[in-house]
Amino acid sequence: MKKVSLVLNVVLILAVVGIYYLHFSGNKTTKKEVSKDEAEQIIDRDYAIAYVNIDTLVSNYNLFVDKSDELTQKRNESEAELQIQSKNFENEVLDFQDKVNKGLITRTKAQMLQQELAQKEQQLYAMRDNMAMQLAEEEQVMYRQVLNEVMEYLEEYNEKYNYRFIFSNSFGGQLLYTDKSLNITMDVLDGLNEKYDKSKE
């Protein structure tokens, strides 16, 4: 009896931990605020180099926002499914405990049911792990798709401006100082969103 109670507590704790992991490990995609200075930036095109603030660019790119919303919906659906399965398992364990306490099943039947519950517990763990792994993979693919679109657009963009280098800048990245007049983030973002919005029409 103590064993079943311990199993139930462990399963419930792991289910809650899994749900919190799925909920809080995901990126909450809110658009990064664009500063007034950044929005009104005057670009100096006399140089053969430029840079984009990749954090601002990606978080305000409509493709990223749409895909993030889709991923959040999938994450919420996965959490709901995991909660349902965990609740069902909890009910089965409680039902089993009740039958054992009241002496409604034989010792042989109790052992058989206990083995079934242990198997279902393992399936619940596997389901949680698979959901977390699938969501992580989908998130990684989403980032790659977004970055691929950005890089492809930069090739088009550069046909007009002929930069030799366009760097990616992010807080704590390798570019420790940049001249703000070389920041083409908002110009690129406007072009990306315009192209993406047209593709949706």
Q: What is the mean pLDDT of residues 100-129?
A: 94
Q: Which position has the higher pLDDT, 65 or 37? A: 65
Look at residue 38 and tell me whether its pLDDT is greater than 60.
no
Look at residue 40 and tell me whether its pLDDT is greater than 90.
no
Q: What is the mean pLDDT of residues 142-164?
A: 96
Look at residue 11 and tell me whether its pLDDT is greater than 70.
no
Domain span holding position 107: 2-200
CA distance 78 to 89: 16
Terminal Cα distance for the chain, rounded? 62
pLDDT tens string 69-107: 999 999 999 999 999 999 999 999 999 999 999 999 999
Number of domains in the chain: 1
The pLDDT value given to residue 132: 94
Q: Could you tell me which residues come within 8 angstroms of residue 177 by beta carbon, excluding any fewer than 6 positions away?
A: none
pTM, two decimal places: 0.72
Angle at 141 between CA 136 and CA 144, to 5 degrees: 130
The pLDDT value given to residue 21: 42
Give the pLDDT band of residue 39 (cuts 50, 70, 90): low
pLDDT tens string 46-69: 899 999 999 999 999 999 999 999
Give the pLDDT band of residue 33 (cuts 50, 70, 90): low
The pLDDT value given to residue 156: 95
The pLDDT value given to residue 150: 96
